[in-house]
Copies of this chain bind each other. A is one copy, B any other.
């Protein structure tokens, strides 16, 4: 049993904790945070299923005042684990790394940290083998994680040469007030970092892209134009066949009622998934079109939860729990209950 701690019990940290708790070969030791946020207050109301540790600078009295039990300090948590999943605010992970190094524990960082924090920039499907035995890994960001699932999928099946992406980005998470956008589409300097990151993970594929922020909270949509290696034609049917077998891609359709990103969120809520989360990306069957040698398609990225499976894959790589991507992702998927819908 790999002993795991989580630093930062926010949007991502909560879901990391839940995901780890579901793994049969991992044990969640506890979570750490700075403030008695709503998420921590909810943890208390649920009866503290996870032990809470306080990072440096936390005001213990505030937690006491709200009746929130504290199990110790961040250093104590780090001292009890084999690996930390660090989902602290961007930049804090680098500071934490010193503690991890001192304690001799491995760590997996999220996309908000600088690449330099880690030895390996990691994706569970596209470069699992690079992470084998590594001490410090950094996950791709939410958009890049979901995007690479599909690019890697086509690349493994048929070979890819080039992709061009348009990222229609949700601007805030549900419950955010500190950022937002009202009646505006905001554009970023091109190429988007997701295209650049894709090339870092998959250096044999050339990528470019443009990102536009939109005033919604549930799920980015990305359109992808992909070209087969050496101009080899990938038909609509070929693409759908490959996507249809992937355990972290849900092929959905307008005809069945999936009209946009809000449908996937609603469906996940109706499924009874905790928090209405979905680990899979959605891929619209009706969006897959050919143009000459190219194939184009659109996917939905559930930004709050999409990186959880690949982060758990990273733990598998760091401890060499499985030798390769196929067996590692399969193990993660089994514990998370992914892919069951494929069988009926």
Proximity bits, A216-239, B CB within 8 Å = 1, else 0: 111101010100000000000000
> A207 contacts which chain B residues (CB < 8 A)?
291
Q: Which residue on B lies nearest to A162, using beta carbons?
A: B292
A265 to B271, CA, bound (A): 17
Given A184-B180, A216-B185, A271-B45: A291 and B164 interface contact (C-beta under 8 Å): yes
Contact indicator B260/A189 (Cβ below 8 Å): no
> A189 contacts which chain B residues (CB < 8 A)?
254, 286-287
Q: Which residue on B lies nearest to A166, using beta carbons?
A: B166
Proximity bits, A280-311, B CB within 8 Å = 1, else 0: 00001011111110101110000000000000
Chain A, 26-44, CB within 8 A of any chain B CB:
37-39, 41-43
Q: Which residue on B lies nearest to A9, using beta carbons?
A: B270
A289 to B42, CA, bound (A): 28
Question: Is A261 an interface residue when CB atoms closer than 8 A count as contact?
Answer: yes
Q: Which residue on B lies nearest to A341, using beta carbons?
A: B45
Which size bracket describes the interface of A in this complex? 35 or more
Contact indicator A175/B263 (Cβ below 8 Å): yes
Contact indicator A257/B184 (Cβ below 8 Å): no
Contact indicator A166/B260 (Cβ below 8 Å): no
Q: Which residue on B lies nearest to A231, using beta carbons?
A: B231
Question: Is A245 an interface residue when CB atoms closer than 8 A count as contact?
Answer: no
Question: Is A269 an interface residue when CB atoms closer than 8 A count as contact?
Answer: yes
Q: Which residue on B lies nearest to A37, using beta carbons?
A: B257
> A183 contacts which chain B residues (CB < 8 A)?
174, 182-183, 215-218, 262
Contact indicator B214/A214 (Cβ below 8 Å): yes
Contact indicator A191/B267 (Cβ below 8 Å): no
Contact indicator A186/B177 (Cβ below 8 Å): yes
CB distance from A299 to the nearest CB of B (A): 10
Question: Is A48 an interface residue when CB atoms closer than 8 A count as contact?
Answer: no
Q: Which residue on B lies nearest to A236, using beta carbons?
A: B190
Contact indicator B216/A289 (Cβ below 8 Å): no
> A269 contacts which chain B residues (CB < 8 A)?
174, 274-276
13 contacts between A and B (CB under 8 A): A42-B270, A171-B180, A174-B183, A177-B260, A179-B180, A182-B215, A182-B216, A183-B218, A186-B259, A187-B287, A190-B296, A206-B292, A212-B221
